[in-house]
Chains A and B, each alone.
Chain A
Amino acid sequence: MRSDLIIGMAGSGGDGIVAAGESLMTAAALEGYHAIMTKSFGSQIRGGESSCRLRISTQKVLNPGGTLDVAVALNWEDFLKFGAELPVGGHTVVIYESDTRVQPDKIPLEGVIPAVALAVPIQGMAKEHAGTEKAKNTVVLGLLVGWFGLARDGILAGIRKKFAKKGPEVLQGNERAFGAGIEFAAAHPIEGIQGMASPTGDKGKNLLVDGNDMCAAAAIFAGCEFFGGYPITPSSEIMQFHAREIWKYGGTVLQAEDEIAGIGAVVGASFAGKKAMTATSGPGMSLKTEMLGLATIAELPLVCVNVQRGGPSTGIPTKSEQADLFQAVFSAHGDAPRPVLAPVSVEDTFGVTVEAFNIAEQYQTPVIILSDQEIAQRKETVPPIDTSVYRVIDRRRPTVNELENYVRFRVTESGVSPISHPGMKGGNYLASGIEHNEKGAPTASGEMHSRMNEKRIKKLFPLKKRRDLFYIQGDANAPLGLISWGSVAGVAMEAARQVQKEGIPVKIIVPKLLFPVAEEIYQEFFASIKRGLVVEQSHQGQLYRVLRMFVDVPAGVVSLAKSGSNPIVPEEVVGRLRRLSLALQRGRVPESEAAHD
């Protein structure tokens, strides 16, 4: 039996490939499997090609995996458009529409001979049993259940639920199509195929959610009562979630006229005393930058989510990338560091979002969450989260005594001063983007500017001690190191686990806090490191370079970085680690992979 199954499917827009993936995910989640599903589309609004890949496992899965175990092509033209997103290898079982009239030994996959290539009359079966081509995806579900023994009852229940609304004829047609798929598989056994092992998780306990919805729900949990933003792929679902839910909690959504007004309203809501957030992607982030500077100098808490996509400019809006780290860390005008956090999975997005609000409120600062399209839009099974372990922090408001002679920007030991808001008697002050003295009065004094910069920068230093914002795993003395962040960290974690099993001494560090850079935590990690990789999805290797700016990174640690939309898969990281390990044993410098400076 197999414990892990990676399925990739592609077709044209109307084929229902993504709907089939959703059905499979729901059934897998209900039965207690762990699963991840990513969807990918051509850039057309309707129609065009669409694909999904699912990874179903009996163990927790951290990434969508590499080479497919099963590839389903409803037509080759669409399948091939996804290129490296749907990689076929020597062990892949390829199932494709026989109506394409492609012979199994002529399938258009260059340089690959899959284990099995099977032409199946998917369209014909759909027409025959359901009377419509629309049931093609239901036939595919039947085939997968038949060959891989996946969640049959759960899928059937899902089909019944989905089609019940459409009348008995459609429902029965789909039931027949599903059955036909199963029978076809039974009649055409694939030699050596391994069925899926039973799930290990509890039935009916898992959540099934994507990163954007998780982020918005976590924000409400953390006390967010205002969202201001502007639609932009791939972050719009955060606004859309709030537009459905936040009202129930007394909150308000403003779909603003532009990105600047969106964060402007958030700055206003925060000034008025409410926890507030905005969400955007790269180009929108550029527009919000001035307002982030305002929030820094006015010391107003807010959370700004950047769901990264391929850039610069419009770039590749529907694909993931991690190339906005420089922007998040350095785009401020003036001396304006601000905390930057990144989740590594959908599950992690809950804690990271709550933490972002807590940090924003506690330190009176804008906080950037760097999510990415991969996490934001992939569906993931999430084990139940015990929300009671999460603390929710509110901003420090002035006491009655402090309001007697209120000093908004009082320079305190911690750099944090009590913050009032309109409506609070005695707390009246001038918030401003202009430099100000402790009372808030505008000033051009260099001395005061230095003191205020010191206050605003120093107050963030305690964050550098936050070990809980780092995932560190492996033997503390290991000479091999892996560093990764965001969605790609899931790939690095899996690779580390795998090579550790092979006895290769590797440890891994994944920062959820990207900025301020926690120098000591890295320094400690690097103490034993002779060779290592910083794995991330950007052309320049942005985390690698930020680390080198703040930390003494050992010379043997190099960047493994690729532009977005080029998947980084565990196999590749494993291969690099094995080579580094060999080089270490032989005391040689590995082939030149150092970054070009």
Chain B
Amino acid sequence: MSAPTNPYMAKDYKSDLKPIWCPGCGDFGVVTAIYRALAAVGRPPHEIAFVSGIGCSSRIPGYTTAYGFNSVHGRALPIAQGIKLANPSLLVLVAGGDGDGFSIGGGHVAHAIRRNIDLTYIVMDNQIYGLTKGQLSPTSHRGLKTASSAWGSLEDPVNPLQYVLGYGAGFVAQGTPADMSGLAAIIEEGIRFPGFAFVNVQSPCVTYGEEEAQLKAQKERMESLEKLGHNPADRLRAMDLAQAYGTKLYTGVLYRNPTPPPTYEGAVKARHEELRASAKPKAQILDMFAPR
């Protein structure tokens, strides 16, 4: 995957901090896939900003050598957008769990998508709240018994894939640490995509997750979209396939917009160029308040 000329290796993105994750947690695989994807892209760590919210998976920026920001619950996307707009030359990664992305922070996803700011948003979806010790998450299935649903959940889950496709995300993919090279490849592709990219990772919780969500079970269930002959440019077919979220485990690129719309920061750059000449010196900015 990485070109021989690439100056960075996967280990260059790995920090000295020891993850707090439970042994066997899917997130170990996710962070490894991110190291590999970053090495393939080859940007130096100091040009990368990696933002997360709160949750087990949101610890992830600290395990990289990038500029990390482990922020507040559900708000990684707004912070990441501010970073990218303040300095569009940065590579901006965003990560968090399903609760962070589709429950407390769910309102931000639609707007990040419609603004099309060039970010890669990786959701580690484990259908449970692990850090708070096993409550329902927005992707938990109906009937699931958890610490907060002793008699079973009365709600249907959010479908993250349909959610982001519905709002017009230009790049939508799903992966699992059960397929490391596939996961690294879609994260790399998401980073390279010029605009908002979404990667849903089925990253099992070994402590509170269900048996069928574990990596071993995933290996048997997962189906490669590529092998199924799916054309990622076909948005309607992607929507159709996304319906199977929760029943089937498709991996690979579900949708890639062949003609991505302009990014927000690209439009900002054009506006700066257009308006720069009309700026008065800052010392004279108050002149505009002279009565006329």
How far in angstroms is the closest Cβ of chain A from B58?
A: 10
Assembly CA distance A274 to B86 (angstroms): 6
Q: Are B46 and A422 in contact (CB under 8 A)?
A: yes
How far in angstroms is the closest Cβ of chain B from A201?
A: 12
B138 at the interface (CB under 8 A from A): no
Q: Which of A161, A261, A425 contacts B78 (CB 8 A)?
A: A261
Q: Which of B45, B49, B70, B288 contacts A434 (CB 8 A)?
A: B70
Q: Are B45 and A269 in contact (CB under 8 A)?
A: no
**How many residues of chain A get a CB closer than 8 Å to chain B's CBs?**
70
Residues of A contacting B47 with CB < 8 Å?
Answer: 422-423
B282 at the interface (CB under 8 A from A): yes
Q: Which of A214, A265, A276, A426 has the most CB of B within 10 A?
A: A265
Q: Are B286 and A441 in contact (CB under 8 A)?
A: no
Assembly CA distance A434 to B70 (angstroms): 8
How far in angstroms is the closest Cβ of chain B from A205?
A: 9
Binary interface encoding of chain B residues 56-84 relative to chain A, with 1 for a CB under 8 A from any of its CBs, else 0: 00010110011111111001011111111
Q: Which of A225, A261, A272, A384 has the most CB of B within 10 A?
A: A272
Q: Are B291 and A208 in contact (CB under 8 A)?
A: yes
Binary interface encoding of chain A residues 255-291 relative to chain B, with 1 for a CB under 8 A from any of its CBs, else 0: 0111011101111111111101000000000000011
- CB-contacts of A85-131 with B (<8 A): none
Q: Which of B66, B90, B286 contacts A350 (CB 8 A)?
A: B286
Assembly CA distance A581 to B49 (angstroms): 63
How far in angstroms is the closest Cβ of chain A from B86?
A: 4
Q: Which of B44, B71, B272 has the most CB of A within 10 A?
A: B71
A217 at the interface (CB under 8 A from B): yes
A388 at the interface (CB under 8 A from B): yes
Residues of A contacting B227 with CB < 8 Å?
Answer: none
Q: Which of B83, B107, B275, B289 contacts A248 (CB 8 A)?
A: B275
B48 at the interface (CB under 8 A from A): yes
Q: Are B51 and A430 in contact (CB under 8 A)?
A: no
How far in angstroms is the closest Cβ of chain A from B270?
A: 10
Binary interface encoding of chain B residues 84-121 relative to chain A, with 1 for a CB under 8 A from any of its CBs, else 0: 11110110000000000000000110110000000000
Residues of A contacting B17 with CB < 8 Å?
Answer: 441-442
B216 at the interface (CB under 8 A from A): no
A427 at the interface (CB under 8 A from B): yes
Q: With A291-B72, A428-B46 as given contacts, are A272 and B86 in contact (CB-CB < 8 Å)?
A: yes
Q: With A220-B282, A423-B90 as given contacts, are A430 and B46 in contact (CB-CB < 8 Å)?
A: no
Q: Are A430 and B68 in contact (CB under 8 A)?
A: yes
Q: With A207-B290, A272-B83 as given contacts, are A248 and B276 in contact (CB-CB < 8 Å)?
A: yes
Assembly CA distance A273 to B17 (angstroms): 25
Q: Which of B44, B67, B275 contacts A429 (CB 8 A)?
A: B67
Residues of B contacting A172 with CB < 8 Å?
Answer: none
Assembly CA distance A291 to B110 (angstroms): 21
In the complex, the chain B residue whose C-beta lies closest to that of A209 is: B289
Q: Which of B69, B83, B111, B278 contacts A261 (CB 8 A)?
A: B111
Q: Are A422 and B48 in contact (CB under 8 A)?
A: yes
Residues of A contacting B86 with CB < 8 Å?
Answer: 225-226, 252, 268-270, 272-274, 276
Assembly CA distance A522 to B37 (angstroms): 59
Assembly CA distance A248 to B280 (angstroms): 8
Q: Are A268 and B79 in contact (CB under 8 A)?
A: yes
Residues of A contacting B3 with CB < 8 Å?
Answer: none
Residues of A contacting B85 with CB < 8 Å?
Answer: 226, 252, 254, 265, 268-269
Q: Are A272 and B62 in contact (CB under 8 A)?
A: no
Residues of A contacting B78 with CB < 8 Å?
Answer: 228, 256, 260-262, 264-265, 268
Residues of A contacting B289 with CB < 8 Å?
Answer: 207-209, 213-214, 217, 382
Using a CB–CB cutoff of 8 Å, the interface residues on chain A facing chain B are 25-26, 29-30, 161, 204, 206-209, 213-214, 217, 220-221, 225-226, 228, 245, 247-250, 252, 254, 256-258, 260-262, 264-274, 276, 290-291, 293-294, 298, 350, 382, 384-385, 387-388, 421-434, 441-442
Which 4 pairs between the two chains have the least Cβ-Cβ distance? A268-B82, A264-B78, A265-B82, A248-B279
Q: A261-B111, A422-B47, A431-B69 are in contact. List 16 more A-B contacts (CB 8 A).
A: A207-B291, A208-B291, A217-B285, A217-B289, A247-B275, A250-B272, A256-B111, A260-B78, A261-B108, A267-B79, A268-B84, A422-B87, A423-B90, A428-B65, A429-B68, A432-B69
